[in-house]
Structure 1
Amino acid sequence: MTEAARGLILTPSDGRSFRFDPGALCLELLLTGGPGPLARWESLYTSADLVRWAGESRLPDGLAPVVTEPEVADARRLRDALHRITSARVHGRKLPAADMAVVNEAAALPPPVPCLTPEGERGWVPGASGSQVLSAVARDAVELFTGPWAGRVRECGADNCLLLFVDTSRPGRRRWCAMERCGNRHKVRAHRARPADS
């Protein structure tokens, strides 16, 4: 996926699609549903769903994963653990030990295997397993939460939006999941709330 095309297309209940880049592979998995009220957004039901997500995510092209049904259940388990860990980080709570164990278990599995292409460039051995895909996601989470961007994980500032992202803006003041969605809505509400000039 090119840098310009980063992010996934989301279509909320109002039907207005928008591109959202959470800034990390592990946070892209969160867009497939989650625990509690996030269950209504569930999109990982079959192995084809996980393969489709992998193809749309920032995982490298060419993995062509082969996913089993039990690996789909593992993906949901990892995703839900990542939701709770990310929420705890954002709200300054202690990271849940059981959820960290889920991430560490997935990260301990072998990741996708790189290879040299005939052009001498980096490629990937096709046919990665679902477990290898989940290992890449879990390792990304370890890097995120122990690296320099750990303090820049945010939740959208809109009252009715639970999207999580890494604030990679230079000043570190990003508030919205996407300016064209929640940011613009906030601007419109603020404009309407201003008293009319006399």
Structure 2
Amino acid sequence: MPVSTVSIAVGQWVTTDEGIRWWFDSGSFALDFAYTGRIGGLRAVELLHAPDDLTGWLHERFPVAVGAARSRDLFDAIALRDAISRMAVAASRDEAMRGADIDLVNLYAATPDIPPSLPGGTRQAGRSVQTVAQSLSTIARDAVDLFSPDNAERIRCCSGTDCEVVYLDTSRASTRRWCSMQRCGNRAKVRAHRARKAVNAAA
């Protein structure tokens, strides 16, 4: 089973250019971050237009306080996000990843991240507000887990017709086929049902 060092809930609402909004469990926190923009063939709406957008996304996802993002933080975040996106698409196609993208992820992963902590203590350990740079390091470290050899066969592209959504299959039997059962999985069921009816009608 794939493992992650980040204990943050995975999954988020994704909105496409056509205005279609649906829940997507990417299987990975780093992939969730990648889906704040376009990745693969999914025409997702760009979420990070300004530093405040990055601040909002981080505040929603991290269980600790993260400081406000600045313009430089947004630049760094988009650079990291786009590297993760390209790496995920390459992995899903069993293609080689760009060395520059690997270097970028490794660079962010090598910097101080948001440290784990246990609730219930009586003293504040470390910073009370984490920096955006620390949150990007945490995302990068999850990306290192995501692209580890253990997950080599689990980063996949949806089996839906004309769907190129990339996800990490975290199912125990490694049998996930769809980006979402409510989206492509349901479409496949409808097509299969119609095909069976057509065959029965012709018999």
> TM-score range with shorter-chain normalisation?
0.7 to 0.9
Equivalents in 2 of 1:36, 1:197: separation in Å? 38
Equivalents in 2 of 1:74, 1:147: separation in Å? 26
Q: Deviations over 1:62-105 (max 9, x none)?
A: 23332111111111111111111111111111111011111111
Partner residue in 2 for 1:11:
15
Equivalents in 1 of 2:170, 2:44: separation in Å? 29
> 1:120 is aligned with what amino acid?
G
Partner residue in 1 for 2:3:
none
Give the conservation status (yes or no) of the 8 Å contact 1:26–1:82. yes
Partner residue in 2 for 1:23:
27
> 2:134 is aligned with what amino acid?
Q
Task: State how many pairs are aligned.
Answer: 193
Partner residue in 2 for 1:33:
37
Give the conservation status (yes or no) of the 8 Å contact 2:84–2:105. yes
Partner residue in 1 for 2:186:
184
Structure 2: give runs of 5+ residues left out of the alignment: 1-6
| 1:41-190 paired onto structure 2 within 5 Å | 41-57=45-61, 59=62, 61-115=63-117, 117=119, 119-120=120-121, 125-146=127-148, 148-190=150-192
Shift in Å at residue 128 of structure 1? 1.6
Shift in Å at residue 38 of structure 1? 5.9
Change (3 A) 1:185 1:35: closer
Partner residue in 2 for 1:197:
200
C-alpha RMSD of the superposition: 2.8
SS, match of residue 197 in structure 1: helix
Task: Say which structure, 1 or 2, has more relative contact order (CA 8 Å, 6+ apart).
Answer: 2
Equivalents in 1 of 2:175, 2:37: separation in Å? 26
Give the conservation status (yes or no) of the 8 Å contact 1:63–1:125. no
TM-score (norm 1): 0.83
Shift in Å at residue 28 of structure 1? 0.5
Structure 1: give runs of 5+ residues left out of the alignment: none
Give the conservation status (yes or no) of the 8 Å contact 1:114–1:125. no
Give the conservation status (yes or no) of the 8 Å contact 1:112–1:124. no
Change (3 A) 1:39 1:22: closer
Shift in Å at residue 6 of structure 1? 4.3
Shift in Å at residue 29 of structure 1? 0.7
TM-score (norm 2): 0.82
Equivalents in 2 of 1:123, 1:18: separation in Å? 39
Give the conservation status (yes or no) of the 8 Å contact 1:63–1:124. no
Equivalents in 2 of 1:17, 1:124: separation in Å? 39
SS, match of residue 23 in structure 2: strand
Equivalents in 1 of 2:195, 2:32: separation in Å? 34
Shift in Å at residue 41 of structure 1? 2.3
